[in-house]
Amino acid sequence: MSGPTLLGQHAPLPASPEEARLERVHNPHTDTNYTARFTVPEFTSLCPVTGQPDFAHIVIDYVPGKWLVESKSLKLYLGSFRNHGAFHEDCTVRIGKDLAVLLTPKWLRIGGYWYPRGGMPIDVFWQTGKLPAGVWAPDQGVPSYRGRG
């Protein structure tokens, strides 16, 4: 795999996750275990049945191995779900699996905190293996949905 191709140039939002190109860069601290976090408070996708928009707060934590995800490619990849029809579970788990395949991290977890649709929020969680000993992975900081009560 060559280096990043999206940095420093105009890159339109891909039309779908299939068209998006996740990229990676070398981790300069492979000798150190640490947690990196991406927070996406305005993630959107489409309901595959109704075509109506679905909204989520996505939190991705990972302990890098040899690779880091290149953040511009991640932003474009996540934005490509805007016109993609899939259930909450599919979106959340797919993002986690795509990142795990790309990065081969020491550990990765994703939390998809979906806003209510049909009166019911759906939260989806996925992770690879166990957090390495001695690594701090803070709570994802997204409260359970409480409504207005």
CB 46 within 8 A of CB 54: yes
Query: Residue 100: CB partners within 8 Å, gap ≥ 6?
Result: 108, 128
Residue 54 annotated among the catalytic residues of the structure? yes
Q: Which listed residue (31, 54, 61, 91) is catalytic? A: 54
Q: Parallel, antiparallel, or unpaired for β 67-69 and 36-46?
A: unpaired
Query: Residue 114: CB partners within 8 Å, gap ≥ 6?
Result: 54, 55, 56, 88, 121, 122, 123, 124
Q: Which listed residue (31, 47, 61, 98) is catalytic? A: 47
Q: Which of 70, 68, 64 is nearest to 8 (CA)?
A: 70
Q: Which residues have a catalytic role annotated?
A: 47, 54
